[in-house]
A and B are shown apart, each in its own frame.
Chain A
Amino acid sequence: MISSCKLCQSVSSKILFKRNLSVSLTALDHKSRLLEQPLMIYIHWPFCKSKCTYCNFNKYINPKPDHERMKNSLISEIKDYVQKYDMKGRIIHSVYFGGGTPSLALPSTFESILNTIANEFILPYNTEITMEGNPTVHFIDSLVKIKKIREGQTVDDWKVELKNALEIATNHISLYELTIKRGTPLYKDFIKGKFKKPSLDNIADLYNITLDITKAYGFQQYEVSNFQRNEKYSKHNYGYWSGLDYLGIGPGAHGRLTDPKNKIRYRIIRRLYPENWMKQCEETGEGAAKYEQMNLEDVKNELILFGLRTRIGIPRTRFKRYSPDQELEEYLNMEQVNRFIKDGFLIWENNTIKHDKGWILNDFKKEIQSGGLRPTEKGLAVIDEIVPRILY
Chain B
Amino acid sequence: MISRPIFFNIRSQFYSKIHIINRNSSYILNRINRPLYINYDNLISLQKRDQSSSSNSDKNIDLSKFPAENIRNFSIIAHVDHGKSTLADRLLELTGTISSNHLHQQVLDKLTVERERGITVKAQTCSMFYKYNNKNYLLNLIDTPGHVDFNYEVSRSLAACQGTILLVDSSQGIQAQTVANFFLAFNEGLTVIPVINKIDLPTAEPDRVINQIESTFELDVSDIALISAKSGIGVDKILPTVIEKIPPPSGDINKPLKAFLFDSWYDTYVGVVCIMAIVDGKLQKGDKIMSAYSEKKYEVVDIGIMHPEQVTTGYLHAGQVGYVICSMKVAAEAHIGDTFYHIKNPVEPLPGFEPAKSMVFAGVFPTDANEFNRLDESINKLTLNDASVSVQKETSTALGQGWRIGFLGTLHMDVFRQRLEEEHDANIIITRPTVPYKIIYRDGTSKLIRNPIEFPDSTEMQNKVSELQEPIIMATIILPEDYMGSIMDLCGSRRGEQLEYNYMDESRVMMKYCIPLAEIVTNFHDELKSKSSGYASFDYEDMGYQTSDIVKMNVLINKKPVDALAAILHQSQVAHVGREWAKKLSEVIPKQLYEVIIQTAVGGRVIARETISAMRKNVTAKCYGGDVTRKMKLLEKQKEGKKKMKMIGNIELPQKAFYDFLTKDSSTSKKK
On chain B, the residues within 8 Å of A200 by CB distance are 591, 615-617
Distance in angstroms between the alpha carbons of A177 and B622 in the assembled complex? 8
Contacts A254-B625, A305-B631, A305-B632; A383 near B619 (Cβ below 8 A): yes
CB distance from A4 to the nearest CB of B (A): 9
Least CB distance from A56 to B in Å reads: 10
* Separation of A306 and B642 alpha carbons in the complex (Å): 20
**A45 on interface, CB distance cutoff 8 Å:** no
With CB as the reference atom, state the residue of chain B lying closest to A339.
B650
Whether A380 sits at the interface, judged by CB under 8 Å, is yes
**Segment of A134-142, A350-358, A384-392 in the binding face:** A384-392
Contact assessment for B593 and A343 in the assembled complex, using a CB-CB cutoff below 8 Å: yes
| Interface flag for A276 (CB, 8 Å) | no
Q: Which residues of B lie under 8 Å from residue A380 when comparing CB positions? A: 619
Contact (A301, B619) CB under 8 Å given A343-B593, A388-B639: no
Docked-complex contact B593 and A382, CB < 8 angstroms: yes
Q: Quick check: B623 and A224 within 8 Å, CB to CB? A: yes
- How far in angstroms is the closest Cβ of chain A from B428? 24
Q: Which residue of A lies closest to B637 (CB)?
A: A388
- State whether B591 touches A309 (Cβ < 8 A): no
CA distance A208 to B617 in the complex (A): 9
Nearest CB in chain B to that of A247: its residue: B625
Tell me the residues in window 615-630 of chain B with beta carbons closer than 8 Å to chain A beta carbons. 615-626, 628-629
CB distance from A340 to the nearest CB of B (A): 8
Contact A382 B629 (CB under 8 A): no
Is the CB–CB distance between B616 and A305 below 8 Å? no
Asked if A176 and B621 make an inter-chain contact with CB atoms under 8 angstroms apart, the answer reads yes
What 1/0 flags go to A252-283 for Cβ under 8 Å of B?
Answer: 11111000000000010100000000000000
A interface residues, how many (CB within 8 angstroms): 45
User: Which residues in A have their C-beta under 8 angstroms from that of B616?
Assistant: 200-201, 204, 207-208, 381-382
Bound-complex Cα distance A246 to B627 (A): 13
Please tell me if A42 contacts chain B, counting CB pairs below 8 Å.
yes
**Are the C-beta atoms of A388 and B638 separated by less than 8 Å?**
yes
Interface assignment of B635: CB less than 8 Å from any CB of chain A:
yes
Q: Contacts A382-B593, A389-B642 given: A306-B619 contact, CB under 8 Å?
A: no
State whether B619 touches A381 (Cβ < 8 A).
Answer: yes
Per a CB cutoff under 8 Å, which of B620, B629, B638 touches A269? B629
**Which B594-645 residues sit within 8 Å CB-CB of chain A?**
594, 613, 615-626, 628-629, 631-632, 635, 638-639, 641-642
**Identity of the chain A residue whose Cβ is nearest the Cβ of B642 in the assembled complex:** A388
Which of B593, B621, B628, B650 meets A385, CB within 8 Å? B593
A331 CA to B83 CA in the complex, in Å?
66
For window 106-161 of A, CB contacts with B under 8 Å fall at: none
The reply to whether the CB of A319 lies closer than 8 angstroms to some CB of chain B is: no
Q: Hey, which chain B residues are within 8 Å of A391, CB to CB?
A: 635, 639
Report A309-345 CB contacts with B as 1/0, cut-off 8 Å: 1000000000000000000000000000001000101
- CA of A177 to CA of B623 in the docked complex: distance in angstroms? 12
Taking a contact as CB atoms under 8 Å apart, the answer to whether B621 and A306 are in contact is no
Cα distance, A206 to B624, chains bound together (Å): 22
A203 close to chain B: CB less than 8 A = yes
- Assuming A254-B625, A388-B638, is B632 touching A302 (CB within 8 A)? yes
B617 close to A382 (CB less than 8 A): yes
Q: Return the chain B residue nearest A58 by Cβ.
A: B626
- Binary CB contact string for chain A from 221 to 257 against chain B (1 if under 8 A, 0 otherwise): 0001100000000000100110000101000111110
1/0 per residue A203-222: CB within 8 Å of B?
11001100000000000000
Is the pair A267, B615 in contact by a Cβ cutoff of 8 Å? no
User: Does A298 belong to the interface (CB within 8 Å)?
Assistant: yes
Q: Which residues of B contact A389 (CB under 8 A)?
A: 642
Bound together, the chains give a CA A6 to CA B359 distance in angstroms of: 65
A177 to B642 CA separation, bound complex (whole angstroms): 25
Across the interface, do B621 and A225 meet the contact criterion of CB distance under 8 Å?
yes
**Residues from chain B with Cβ under 8 Å of A178 in the complex:** 621
Q: How far is the CB of A347 from chain B (nearest CB, A)?
A: 16
Q: Are A385 and B622 in contact (CB under 8 A)?
A: no
Whether A203 touches B632, Cβ cut-off 8 Å, given contacts A179-B622, A388-B639, A388-B642, is no
Instruction: Tell me the smallest distance from the CB of B589 to a CB of chain A, in Å.
Output: 14
Give the chain A neighbours of B631 by CB distance below 8 A: 305
Contact yes or no, B635 A301, CB < 8 A: yes
Query: Could you say which of B622, B631, B638 has the most chain A C-beta atoms within 10 Å of its C-beta?
Result: B622
Q: Which residues of B contact A387 (CB under 8 A)?
A: 635, 638
Contact of A381 among B617, B628, B641 (CB under 8 A): B617
Min C-beta distance of A7 to chain B, whole Å: 15
**Known contacts being A240-B628, A254-B626, A256-B625, is A309 close to B619, with CB within 8 Å?**
yes
Q: Bound state CA distance, A256 and B624, in angstroms? A: 12
Inter-chain contacts of A225 with B (CB < 8 A): 621-622
Chain A window 163-199, contacts with chain B (Cβ cutoff 8 Å), 1 for yes, 0 for no: 0000000000000111100000000000000000000
List 16 A-B residue pairs with CB atoms under 8 Å apart, sorted by A's residue number.
A200-B591, A200-B615, A208-B616, A224-B619, A224-B621, A225-B621, A237-B624, A241-B623, A246-B625, A248-B626, A254-B625, A254-B629, A309-B620, A381-B616, A385-B618, A387-B635
